[in-house]
Amino acid sequence: MTPEFHRPRTIASLAPGGETVAIAARSAERAALARRFDLPTISHLAARFHLRPESGGGVAVKARLLARVTQICVVSLAPFPHIIDETFLLRFVPAGREAEGDDPEAVDTIGVSDGAIDLGEAAAEQLALLLDPYPRAPGAELPAPYADGNAEQAGAFAALRALRKK
């Protein structure tokens, strides 16, 4: 299956000293990615990759991702804009040589089996990693009974407690 944001490059076509490649998602690609990541919209998604071939068939990557997305606030349930501007490192390696382990500081590796790398999918995956799983709009406040972590004093449980005390 072809990913929504597909920008393939063959490793053999890369300049031996490395090269820089810029990509940007088109409107239909952004809409498909928004559906995939359950976002109201992705109004901009672009990445700039510096690709450096490594001995053994791998490619070292340093990249910058720029995105403008709309997320839904977990407090107010209102949509709000969010800008992502992050750099990241990764390596494309021959399949079977992916790094294993749980080191969060390790450079992510992506296995390649056909001699081609997909920069669009790499950017999409990085976007997914950078999205806050519990997005909160600036200034969003929890209602007073919940703000102090004492939620049992609010809502239906408070009403039940009052009935029990009678």
Question: How many helices (H) and strands (E) in the chain?
Answer: 4, 7
User: What are the extents of the domains in the chain?
Assistant: 8-135, 142-166
CA 57 to chain centroid, in Å, comes to 26
Cα–Cα distance, 20 to 24 (Å, whole number)? 14
Q: What tens-digit pLDDT sequence spans the chain (166 residues)?
A: 789 999 999 999 999 999 999 999 999 999 999 999 999 999 999 999 999 999 888 999 999 999 999 999 999 999 999 999 999 999 999 887 776 666 777 788 888 888 899 999 999 999 999 999 999 999 888 776 666 666 555 566 666 666 677 6
